[in-house]
A and B are shown apart, each in its own frame.
Chain A
Amino acid sequence: MGIFDKFADLLEQTKTLSSFGQSPAGLKFEKILSPTEAMLNGKRTILLGTNNYLGMTFDEESVQCAIEALKSEGTGTTGSRVANGSYNGHKALEEDIADFYGMHTAILFSTGYQANLGAISALAGRGDYLLIDADSHASIYDACRLSDAQVIPFRHNDADNLNRKLKRLENEPGSKLIIIESIYSMLGDMVPLQDFVDVKNKHDNTYLLIDEAHSLGVLGDKGRGLCEHVGVEDDIDFITGTFSKSIGTVGGFLVSNHKEMDIVRLASRPYMFTASPPPSVVASARQTLSTVAAATDKRKQLWENATQLYTGLKNAGYELGPTISPIVAIRLQDPEKAIALWNGLLEAGIYTNLALPPATPFGWYLLRSSISAAHTSEQIALAVELCTKIGVELGLITLSNSKKANIELVSVKDETKPAALNGSSEKRPRAKAEPKSAALPKADGSAARA
């Protein structure tokens, strides 16, 4: 037995995936052209799976701030803040985050993954209980492994199931920490947040942590996320988030109104034993975060774009996630056809994510897209058209269940494809037939369900 023998099944799965065309984990973009386009295998490709919700990765001011920080403070901090001290930027960014949320304390982490790992593993200790949604992100599951608390998963988005589990713990002295996500990353479905807040408020010594990774900048009048949108910010104990999606760089945070929270730094191994974010990253995060509250037009555009893609694919006959959101996932049962659709789209110049079980709910194969405010209506229309065309060819959808009249597109001719793909994303002409209403969810987070 060798040390790599245990990976035989994984290796086989990777080979099978690659035998159908490109390897999802092995793609190499030769050049990033804009927030929505890159060169892949020599072809101009629309990026429809990069979580770049507000399209801020090339924002001129953020890039300039990063360059200045790079020049004045260097390429990296070369150590942890506990061992090597903080830079001005670390402290300033933490103050920015706390101000943005109107909360007492923020703690900066080097990635969003580490924010969950560091926050959850430190907050819930021996004798405590972690109650986590069954569909939680890997960072939450990994945090549970690092924590000494007992871990009790509850049914996905099921506040009644959580309530029963909290009732069973009523006589236990340990603290209970509930972990939920605002928008779940695979299907784009949202937590019924008010229900969870109500359950939390029924139980003593019970705290609620929500991961707003996919909703920062995306939901709420000021872009603070689902808690702002639903109007329950005062009921939330802890928020975690990331700078790697709408903020367009990397890094994560924990923010809270609990005044004792600073001490978590010294109990959180993922905070203490890793290098702090480099000055350039901190500078661009600060600059971009400062624009989020006022980015109302971008949010409106993002939701219009999400609505266009969701309704386009729905009308084509695809099975999607339950809610219109900036994550749009096509649910497929047949792995070979899922892989073929993903490859077909790549060859046609559309990059999406292929998500496979066990990372996906119910063993579905998901073709996952994430929308950006920077996508043009033409780019999304082309994506819908190509998904429809390839889906029909693969027998995933039929023309009879595809409501052709509702797909407002020009036909895909070979000469129009490069034209659409070559169009600069700097200019954003809108299609006349785009949906007018942004499909924001209702206050309980459950609306816009198909």
Chain B
Amino acid sequence: MTSAPLHNEDDGVSAIVSEIQTQLRTRVSAEIPVEPGTHITRDLGLDSLAIMDFIFDLEDSFDISIPMERIAEVQTVADLAKAISTLRKEAA
């Protein structure tokens, strides 16, 4: 059984994952899968500048700023979604 608040929180993160996937799809080749477990710097063939540009777009989509030290902790798409979810709650 999943409690209601946790369910809502999961839904929030899932929606963020979808938005991240949508934005990444426009940047990486079609044959590269973009899943929650995809490692952002290792699996996508994006250089550090392309990743920075992608982060700037996400910031505007979610109306948050992602500090560099938070980015440093992120490895996968799911990590990034969780970080964005946390930052949105902090900003609220």
Distance, CA A362 to CA B51, complexed state (A): 11
B49 adjacent to A164 (CB under 8 Å): no
**How many inter-chain residue pairs (CB < 8 Å) link A and B?**
36
Interface string of B6-33 (1 = CB under 8 A from A): 0000000000000000000000000000
Interface set, chain A 137-154, CB cutoff 8 A to B: 144, 150-154
Distance, CA A164 to CA B65, complexed state (A): 9
Query: Which of these, A154, A161, A363, contacts B49 with CB under 8 Å?
Result: A363
Min CB–CB distance A439 → chain B (angstroms): 28
The yes or no answer to A357 lying at the interface (CB within 8 A) is: yes
Distance, CA A362 to CA B52, complexed state (A): 11
Min CB–CB distance A179 → chain B (angstroms): 13
A362 adjacent to B49 (CB under 8 Å): yes
17 extra A-B contacts, CB within 8 A, seeds A152-B65, A153-B68? A134-B52, A144-B68, A151-B67, A151-B69, A152-B67, A154-B56, A155-B56, A161-B56, A164-B60, A165-B65, A169-B65, A357-B47, A358-B47, A358-B49, A361-B49, A363-B47, A363-B50
Which residues from chain B contact A153 at a C-beta distance below 8 Å? 52, 68
Interface residues of B (CB under 8 A from A): 47-50, 52, 56, 59-60, 63-69, 91
Main secondary structure, interface of A, reads: mixed
A150 adjacent to B47 (CB under 8 Å): no
Distance, CA A358 to CA B51, complexed state (A): 12
Distance, CA A193 to CA B63, complexed state (A): 25
The 6 closest A-B pairs by CB, nearest first: A151-B68, A150-B67, A165-B65, A152-B65, A358-B48, A168-B65
Which residues from chain A contact B49 at a C-beta distance below 8 Å? 357-358, 361-363
Distance, CA A134 to CA B53, complexed state (A): 9
Which one of B47, B49, B60, B65 has the greatest number of beta carbons of chain A within 10 Å? B65
Interface residues of A (CB under 8 A from B): 134, 144, 150-155, 161, 164-165, 168-169, 357-358, 361-363
Which residues from chain A contact B66 at a C-beta distance below 8 Å? 152
Task: Name 8 interchain pairs, CB-CB below 8 A, sorted by A.
Answer: A134-B52, A134-B56, A144-B68, A152-B66, A165-B59, A165-B65, A168-B63, A363-B47
Min CB–CB distance A120 → chain B (angstroms): 13
A168 adjacent to B47 (CB under 8 Å): no
Min CB–CB distance A324 → chain B (angstroms): 24
B56 adjacent to A152 (CB under 8 Å): no
- Chain A's closest residue to B60 (CB) is A164
Which residues from chain A contact B63 at a C-beta distance below 8 Å? 168
Distance, CA A168 to CA B90, complexed state (A): 11
A168 adjacent to B52 (CB under 8 Å): no
Which residues from chain B contact A134 at a C-beta distance below 8 Å? 52, 56
Take A153-B52, A161-B56, A357-B47 as given contacts and tell me if A168 and B91 are in contact as well, using a CB distance cutoff of 8 Å: yes
- Chain B's closest residue to A149 (CB) is B67
Min CB–CB distance A268 → chain B (angstroms): 21
Which residues from chain A contact B52 at a C-beta distance below 8 Å? 134, 153
Which residues from chain A contact B67 at a C-beta distance below 8 Å? 150-152
Which residues from chain B contact A144 at a C-beta distance below 8 Å? 68
Distance, CA A48 to CA B63, complexed state (A): 44
Min CB–CB distance A156 → chain B (angstroms): 10
- Chain A's closest residue to B87 (CB) is A168
Which residues from chain B contact A357 at a C-beta distance below 8 Å? 47, 49
Which residues from chain B contact A169 at a C-beta distance below 8 Å? 65
Which residues from chain A contact B91 at a C-beta distance below 8 Å? 168
Which residues from chain B contact A164 at a C-beta distance below 8 Å? 60
Min CB–CB distance B75 → chain A (angstroms): 18
- Chain A's closest residue to B57 (CB) is A155
- Chain A's closest residue to B50 (CB) is A363
Distance, CA A152 to CA B56, complexed state (A): 10
Min CB–CB distance B81 → chain A (angstroms): 19
- Chain A's closest residue to B52 (CB) is A134
Distance, CA A165 to CA B60, complexed state (A): 10
Min CB–CB distance B49 → chain A (angstroms): 6
Distance, CA A9 to CA B66, complexed state (A): 29
Query: Which of these, A152, A168, A358, A361, contacts B68 with CB under 8 Å?
Result: A152
Which one of B52, B63, B68, B69 has the greatest number of beta carbons of chain A within 10 Å? B68
